[in-house]
Chains A and B, each alone.
Chain A
Amino acid sequence: MIVELDGKKITVDRAPTVLRLMEELSINREAYLVIVNDRLVTEDHRLNKDDSVKLIKVVSGG
């Protein structure tokens, strides 16, 4: 499936849930929010192959 990570589109193996997707990408749950089909979701949210998935980084520097 295609997901958007920090604004860049990447292709990943299909993951059944948001949590599994984050684990596969080694993404810290405190550092990201996940938006599926324009809605903010929790980690247990189930993913379908046509979902539009966006991973948004929440950490800022400076």
Chain B
Amino acid sequence: MKCRVCGNDAVINLKAYNNALCARDFIAFLENRVLKTIQRYRLIDKDEKPLVAVSGGKDSLSLWYILNRLGFASDGVYIDLSIEGYSSLSLDKVKTMADRIQRRVFIFHLMETLGKGIDKLSRVIKRSTCSACGMIKRYIMNRVCMDRGYNVIITGHNLDDEASALLGNILYWKDEYLWKKGLELKESEGHLSKKVKPLFLCSEREMAAYAILNSIDYIRDECPFSIDAKSLVYKDILNRIEESSPGTKLQFIKGYLKVSRAMKTQRRKDNLDYCAVCGYPASGGICSFCRIMERFGIEGDIRFDEYKPEGLPT
């Protein structure tokens, strides 16, 4: 198969776009799509200071790399959940990328703050591991943004993540979540940072190809708690549909965007309450995170480590 742009050997066939591309042209094609997504949906303004949530996986590391190449200078935040055999390895990958792009990364160690890893913590607070993990991550990402003067959190959710989550929400008609998804979560002055997902229209396969072609060393192992994640079943089903009808995932998400924008203008009545301790959105006085801190008798502020590549000015 030949590259449609230059005629050299193609490295990837993109059926959804009826296109085949060589390494160089694919990299340009994908970076351009990310840039267009950011511009078209106004995800990051030029005067904003973005912070990328990096996990060590292909999506967030590639995104961090792309943003800095596109001129959106961004630092990273990594949340260490103390998952054995997984967290330290993924942190190494994050640091390698930090060195490569010469950006700093803030690191939150759950173990240092709460004296527990995510599996123990989730048992104590009687939540599933993934639900506890999600809660901690959302809180910490927001907190570091607020504390360190950043104003937009960027996450690496890709097309497949979004399509599978949407499918799950539709299958069970989870009305309360269904219309909340989207490219952007709005900020709430002094409480909540804006949150955006510039890879919304990039598939997992494209992101893995991008990482491989740019020699981005990402963690291939899965988080051990993801084994029975329902999202894997949904992703598999969507990929089977995609194989027989290329472009379906894109249509699914683009269609959703259109409809949800109309829905959003109708809603907007959810008046938020804020945590009395830290100011984070909360229902009922104190937010979930501060409640955990209180329960374990932990006082004082939470701490972030800062990893700074050598040669970076202070």
Hey, which bits of chain A sit against chain B, CB under 8 A?
7, 28-33, 35, 39-45, 56, 58-62
Whether A30 contacts B242 by the Cβ 8 Å rule is yes
Q: How far is the CB of A28 from chain B (nearest CB, A)?
A: 5
Contact with A40, one of B209, B227, B235 (Cβ below 8 angstroms): B209
| Complex contact A56–B208 (CB within 8 A) | yes
- CA–CA, A61 and B130, complex, Å: 11
Does B1 interact with chain A (Cβ within 8 Å)?
A: yes
The answer to the question of B57 belonging to the interface, with a C-beta cut-off of 8 Å to chain A, is yes
Looking at the complex, which one of B13, B130, B236 makes contact with A62 (CB distance below 8 Å)?
A: B130
Q: Does B204 contact A (CB under 8 A)?
A: yes
Tell me the residues in window 89-137 of chain B with beta carbons closer than 8 Å to chain A beta carbons.
Answer: 130
Q: A29 to B245, alpha carbons, bound, how many Å?
A: 12
Give A61 to B230 CA distance when docked, in angstroms. 8
Contact size range, B: 35 or more
Contact B208 A28 (CB under 8 A): no
* CB-contact partner of B160 in A33, A43, A56, A59, under 8 A: A59
Of A7, A32, A43, the residue contacting B220 (CB under 8 A) is: A7
Interface contact A40-B243, CB-CB below 8 Å: no
Which residues of the other chain, A, contact B231 by a CB distance below 8 angstroms?
61-62
Q: Does B298 reach chain A (CB closer than 8 Å)?
A: no
Contacts of A44 in B (CB 8 A): 1
Q: Mark B188-215, 1 if CB is under 8 A from A, else 0.
A: 0000000000000001110111001100
Contact B226 A59 (CB under 8 A): no
Instruction: Choose from B11, B212, B236 the contact partner of A59 (Cβ within 8 Å).
Output: B236
Would A40 and B236 be within 8 Å (CB), given that A30-B205, A61-B226 are in contact?
Answer: no
A-B complex: 7 closest residue pairs judged by Cβ atoms? A61-B226, A62-B226, A58-B208, A30-B239, A61-B229, A42-B1, A40-B11
The 8 Å CB contact of B226, one of A39, A56, A60, is A60
Minimum CB–CB distance from B242 to chain A (whole Å) comes to 5
With a CB–CB cut-off of 8 A, which chain B residues contact A42?
1, 10-13, 20
Chain A contacts for B57, CB-based, 8 A: 60
Contacts of B58 in A (CB 8 A): 58, 60
Contact of B243 among A30, A35, A62 (CB under 8 A): A30
